[in-house]
Amino acid sequence: MSLTPNDGVLSELLGALCDGSITPEQFAQLEQLLLDSAEARECYVNYMMLCGELKQIVPACPEHPGLPPSHDPSDSQTCIQELKERAQHQPEEESWETNARENQIRQLAEESFNRFKEEEERREQERLYKAYLARRRQYVAGLSSLAALLAILLFVQFAPKSQTPTESDQPVALPVVATITDLSQAIWKDDTGITEHTELRPGSLTLEQGYAELTFKQGARVLIQAPCTFTLESANAMALEAGSMTANVPPQAVGFTVQTPWTTVVDYGTEFGVSTGQTHGAEVHVFEGTVSVGDETSSQFATKGQTARVDRAGRVGLGSLDGRPNLFVRDMPQAGSRFGIPGKRLDLADVVGGGNGFGTGAPGRALDPSPGYMSVTTRAAVLPRGPLNNSGVRAGSGYIDIQRCPFIDGIFVPNGNDPSTTITSTGLVFENCPSTHGTFYDGIVCGAAFDNQWIHPGRLVGHQYQTTEQPSIGACANVGITFDLDRIGASMSGSVISGFKAHCGISQSLADIQSKQDYAAVKVTFWVLVDGRVAYEKALGTDPFESDQIDVPLNPGDRFLTLVTTTPRENLYCWSMFAEPALEFASK
């Protein structure tokens, strides 16, 4: 701090500032000086720090500050003497003020803590319960337990003497953390008596069938899809042991946390879905906003349009939602509006449509088993065809392994004339596949509809099958599709696939556009294979229109379910379809 021409001015201004006599003009002048010069700023800080120091060492003078100002010179002398003596000591020997200060601090700390305690009483209870849970479950995050433990022990330390410490084994009366806001065909494990508007407290629940929507006290809205086992932890946190759910988190509930056995998802104001199971780790799809996925040591952010897949070691990999099937139901379906009922039966037509089997697929979506074409197309993308003289027909070529839909293993065109007809990605074949022309129309379609302009929905036994309530798979001969039961089963942890059911036949809407003589000779054979073994085989015709019920039981070891349609003749008017194709579940 060297002498500058402004020293006198600066000194005067700083003095005025410290003594409260500074005028607005002087203040502006001071501000300007400070803005202009680093030295002035240095001065300022030194000066202010000095004033601060003086303020603190002087009042601690032994002379009681409350005493009226004494004009007795000897008094002031004594004090000055004291002050001088004190000043000679090393700063470390501050014990003469430590006690007073310590008491002040302790008092301040206790006051603050009491205020804190009052405000946080409810959260204290929840943390107690969390600590209780932590001793029972293997995968609670260490941090929250630590906070809980600290909370318990703090509570013990500062609680009034008359209160005995709370035993953490017996949780205090638990607060309501969520309310049921909607249900659809919901069946719970252990008859819980849950209905709409039921208030829920922390604890575990298992939904065996249907859907349940819960709204947490802090605002997060969660749609649970059966089969699902989950635990409510607090007004803004839950654990998902197995199953799928979607969460919609408004701003006031940011920080909503879902813990799975493999990872923790924390929400930053979003809509996302989480699915987890014993065998396949966890999968998170982010529809809006951002979430973090991971644990205390490392986590990643996933945003809108991204997926995060977590393996059983807790490693997080990010991906894109594009082309991934719609794994999650985001809104509660209206009662009876969907053929697929979680925990009860899965709609395979919905799976063909890119959905999860419960109505998230897109009707009209078609799988195309010919080479050179996209293996997945939609109605709009299908090329217009010429008159029914085979110009729209396409040939197959081998097995097409569909990677993007985990529930579908692949598609193919069956032809006994080929050296062999592969029907799974593992190389299983359709032995004794009948001879066909090796061509097909339209592919495998979600929602059977036929004819050039797609205006004739599939119809069997007088029923029209083209909706989510009454779905169907359009399978104009000759096509085949294989579903991966392992993947489907894994996503439905807690349930076991018990069988496959469907109606099959040639659509009666054929009669709407063609005359009987044109189609009377049409015959299509419907096949169901399980791991390459024929479990069902039926030839059905159009004169009269025949249809049949398929009921194939399935065992836990069965991995691949294949549906095939074949015709020995030219595949004209082969409007074959599977209606209400369902995988049925039984509880474990």
Partner 1 sequence: MSEVRKLDDSSEASRGQRFMHLYSGKERSIYKYIYTLVHDEVAAEDILQETTQAMWTKFDEFEMGTNFLAWAVRIAHYRVLKYWASQTKGMIFNSKLVETLAERAEDHVHQDTRRKMALRRCMKKLPERDLHLIKLRYQEGASVKKVAEQVNRGIKGVYKSLSRIRWQLLECIQRSLVMEDRS
Phi, psi of 580 (to 5 degrees): 45, 55
H or E segment at 262?
none
Please list every residue from 207 through 266 that binds partner 1, using CB under 8 A: none
Among the listed residues 29, 39, 78, 83, the single contact to partner 1 using CB under 8 A: 83
Residue from 5, 72, 87, 588 in contact with partner 1 (CB under 8 A): 87
Identify whether the C-beta of residue 303 lies closer than 8 Å to the C-beta of residue 310: no
Residue 421, CA distances (Å) to 398, 425, 440, 452, 479 in order: 7, 12, 15, 29, 11
For the CB of residue 301, give the shortest distance to partner 1 in the complex, in Å.
21
Q: How far is the CB of 169 from partner 1 (least distance, A)?
A: 14
Q: Quick one: 10 or 232, whose CB is closer to partner 1?
A: 10
- Interface with partner 1 in residues 268-297 (CB under 8 A): 295
Q: For residues 7-36, which are near partner 1 according to CB under 8 A?
A: 7, 11-12, 14-22, 24, 27, 31, 34-35
Applying CB under 8 A, the span of 83-91, 243-251, 274-282, 568-576 interacting with partner 1 comes to: 83-91
Residue from 4, 62, 80, 121 binding partner 1 (CB under 8 A)? 80
- 349-375 in b/e form (b: 16+ CB < 10 A) is bbbbbbbbbbbbbebbbbbbbbeeeeb
- Out of 41, 122, 201, 516, point to the residue binding partner 1 (CB under 8 A): 41
Distance CA(453)–CA(520), nearest Å, equals 22
The nearer residue to partner 1, 109 or 381, going by C-beta atoms, is 109
**Whole-number Å distance between alpha carbons of 181 and 195:** 9
Cβ proximity to partner 1, 261 vs 325, nearer residue = 261
How far is 492 from 280, CA to CA, in rounded Å? 11
Report in angstroms the alpha-carbon separations of 346 from 342, 480, 505. 7, 19, 21
Piece of 93-101, 266-274, 366-374, 459-467 that binds partner 1 (CB under 8 A): 93-101
Which one, 278 or 420, has the nearer CB to partner 1? 278
DSSP secondary structure string, 306-354? EEEEE-TT--EEEEE-TTS------SPPPTT--S-BTTTEEEHHHHHTT
Interface with partner 1 (CB under 8 A), residue from 4, 62, 101, 512: 101
Residue 15 or 556 having the CB closest to partner 1: 15
Alpha-carbon distance 215 to 197, whole Å? 10
Site string for partner 1, 52-71 (x = CB under 8 A): xxxxx-xx-x---xx--x-x
Looking up tokens 């197309």 gives 377
Candidates 285, 218, 279; CA nearest to 245 is 285
Give the shortest CB-260-to-partner 1 separation in angstroms: 12
Q: How far apart are alpha carbons 428 and 438 in whole angstroms? A: 19
Residue type, 419: P
By beta-carbon proximity to partner 1, the closer residue of 76 and 555 is 76
The whole-angstrom separation of Cα 436 and Cα 237 is 57
Looking at the Cβ atoms of 5 and 372, the one nearer to partner 1 is 5
Q: Which is nearer to partner 1, 25 or 191 (CB)?
A: 25
How near is the Cβ of 322 to partner 1 at its closest, in Å? 34
Q: What are the beta bridge partners of residue 450?
A: 456
Reported as half-sphere exposure (CB side, CA atoms, 13 A), residue 530 has a value of: 17
Q: How far is CA 456 from CA 422, 512, 542, in A?
A: 32, 8, 16
Residue number, 69 or 462, with CB nearest to partner 1: 69
CB of 318: closest distance to partner 1 in angstroms? 23
* Angle formed by the axes of helices 95-119 and 142-158, nearest 10°: 110
CB of 432 to partner 1, least distance (A): 53
Q: How far is the CB of 316 from partner 1 (least distance, A)?
A: 16
CB of 307 to partner 1, least distance (A): 24
Residues 6+ apart with CB under 8 A from 469: 336, 337, 338, 339
Region of 94-102, 268-276, 278-286, 461-469 interacting with partner 1 (CB under 8 A): 94-102
Residue whose CB is less far from partner 1, 151 or 247: 151
* Smallest distance from partner 1 to CB 259, Å: 11
Instruction: Point out which span in 90-98, 438-446, 549-557, 579-587 binds partner 1 (CB under 8 A).
Output: 90-98
Site for partner 1 in 151-210 (CB under 8 A): 153-154, 156-157
Phi, psi of 85 (to 5 degrees): -60, -45
Which residues in 120-159 contact partner 1 (CB under 8 A)?
A: 131, 134-135, 138-143, 145-147, 149-150, 153-154, 156-157
